[in-house]
Amino acid sequence: MAGLELLSDQGYRVDGRRAGELRKIQARMGVFAQADGSAYIEQGNTKALAVVYGPHEIRGSRARALPDRALVNCQYSSATFSTGERKRRPHGDRKSCEMGLQLRQTFEAAILTQLHPRSQIDIYVQVLQADGGTYAACVNAATLAVLDAGIPMRDFVCACSAGFVDGTALADLSHVEEAAGGPQLALALLPAAGQIALLEMDARLHEDHLERVLEAAAQAARDVHTLLDRVVRQHVREASILLGD
């Protein structure tokens, strides 16, 4: 789409949002009954499912067991029909492996792994529809799934993407904005302490602008935290009503 204006003169983006505005987020915990924890999140048109199994005994070789903490194992998979062009393989390609490693790094920073030595926690994330911000949606879904599984965490892990166009930092990029080729920043934040679990940036960005983009992403992640907190409280309220407390 040549000549597509990512940011209009009045400050509106392609889908009508303002620069710092997030897409509509809807989430639900406890989607699957057979898994230990599961969650589903929709961020605009990006839909992601996360399922957690664990903590359980190490599968495969016992030699991988860590004597003082749990092993976190993540797999990122995106459905073949999730993107505009049909994907050949859902997982096993380089991008999925890299995303899996990034998710693992993110969650090792947040999960209290010292409480479960010699065991394994599996986090499987499935992207059903990809419209930009897939890493962020996966992290948010996985946080809810880990909470649904009852695995203790240091804090929520909230993620959001950010970009930079025409001197303005944009939060929560959609696919159109990502494909335009500008700088993209993915940030995973532990909101209570303001600690960054993962920070990744693609393309060139002048270091003078970095702080603004980082601040936009951090503010968006804090907004996501408010929403996720509300979802968790709603879920606990529903669960306690069902239990008759």
Residue ranges binding other proteins (CB under 8 A): 26, 28, 31-35, 38, 40, 42, 45, 47, 49, 51, 53, 59, 73, 75, 77, 79-84, 86, 90-92, 122, 124, 126, 128-129, 131
Nearer to other proteins, 42 or 217 (CB): 42
How far apart are alpha carbons 225 and 104 in whole angstroms?
20
| Least gap, CB of 170 to other proteins (angstroms) | 22
Of 100 and 182, nearer to other proteins (C-beta) is 100
- Closest approach of other proteins to the CB of residue 204, in Å: 30
> Is the N-terminal amide bond of 117 cis, ω within 30° of 0?
no
Give the Cα separation of 182 and 184 in Å (integer): 6
Helix axes 134-148, 207-243, angle to 10 degrees: 30
CB of 89 to other proteins, least distance (A): 9
Least separation in angstroms between CB 171 and other proteins: 23
Residue 238: phi and psi, rounded to 5, are -65, -40
Query: Is 78 or 168 the residue whose CB approaches other proteins more closely?
Result: 78
Question: Is the CB of 35 or the CB of 159 nearer to other proteins?
Answer: 35
| Min CB(67)–other proteins separation in Å | 22
40 or 164, CB closer to other proteins?
Answer: 40
Residue 142 to residue 99: CA distance in whole angstroms: 13
Phi, psi of 57 (to 5 degrees): -65, 150
Rounded-to-integer distance, Cα 88 and Cα 90, Å: 7
Whose tokens are 């904005």? That residue is: 177
Q: Rounded to the nearest whole angstrom, what is the least distance from the CB of residue 205 to other proteins in the complex?
A: 30
Whichever of 85 and 208 has its CB closer to other proteins, that residue is: 85
Distance, CA of 192 to CA of 2 (rounded, Å): 42
